[in-house]
Amino acid sequence: MQRDHRPYWMHRFWERCENAWTRHFLAPHFAALGIEPKIVRPWHVEIFGPNITAGERLHIVANKADPVRLTVWSPQTQSGRISLGDHVFIAGGTRILAAGQIEIGDDCLIANKATISDCDWHSIHDRVDPAPAWKPVRLGRNVWVGDGAFIGKGVTIGDHSVIGARAVVTRDVEPWTIVAGNPARIVKRIDPDTPMKTRSDLYTDAPGLERFFDAAYREALKGNSTPGWLRSRLWPRRGD
């Protein structure tokens, strides 16, 4: 499909269905969920375990091939938790797995198929231990985690840092740093004196942002019709 054939009313109806699903089926599984979450295809988001919280305007983009999984798996003697800050973005295929504690700071961006885990889940010599050792994981504010990256137990990543695609991070990352590779190593320092825009900046005028996106969709879908959408689905032509 080369373009979106949906009429505007169908786009709005789809959004309302996603929001209703999020409120009815997904939100009750969070211990706390902030205002105005935007979950794309929320039926492909799996929330399992206690003490999973998220701040304002959580944005998740999931799909059937790449579900998003937030999992706390810990024995009753220890209370594991996952904490997501405000304005966090999570792409499809991401897995966040906590036996103890994982904290994701405000404005973090987590790309497709990233994995964050505070536990190895089995030790080398005891692979049936019901309570394997864990070490807390913390991502500071505005951390960008690239496609397919892995962040392991005990790691702290400083504010505004970038984790390269497919990187394997097993040691702390300083603030304002770009790391890449397996194992991850420093490849560049970010200039802290250059102004940094974050996802929080998007919401300084939240009603204005909503109007902007609504106008953009109206323009992009202008001229589309319900019969035209049906035709594109049932009898596609070259150029659709």
Q: What is the pLDDT of residues 143-162, one digit of tens each?
A: 999 999 999 999 999 999 99
pLDDT band at residue 131, thresholds of 50, 70 and 90? confident
Q: Measured between alpha carbons, how far is 13 from 202 in angstroms, rounded to an integer? A: 24
Count of structural domains within the chain: 1
**Residues acting as catalytic residues:** 122
First to last CA, the chain: 5
Q: Per-residue pLDDT for 75 more than 80?
A: no
Q: Is residue 131 part of a domain?
A: yes
Q: Is residue 70 part of a domain?
A: yes
Q: Is residue 219 part of a domain?
A: no
Q: Is residue 212 part of a domain?
A: no
Q: Is residue 58 part of a domain?
A: yes
pLDDT band at residue 76, thresholds of 50, 70 and 90? low
Residue 167 CA, distance from chain mean position: 17
User: Domain range for residue 197?
Assistant: 31-204
Q: Is residue 8 part of a domain?
A: no
Q: Which of 2-6, 23-27, 124-128, 228-232 has the highest mean pLDDT?
A: 23-27
CATH number for the domain spanning 75: value is 2.160.10.10
pLDDT digits (tens, 9 = 90+) for 160-182: 999 999 999 999 999 999 999 99
Strand 59-61 relative to strand 162-163: parallel, antiparallel, unpaired? unpaired
pLDDT band at residue 104, thresholds of 50, 70 and 90? very high
Q: Measured between alpha carbons, how far is 226 from 147 in angstroms, rounded to an integer? A: 36
Q: Is residue 17 part of a domain?
A: no
Predicted TM-score (pTM) of the model is 0.94
Q: Per-residue pLDDT for 52 more than 80?
A: yes
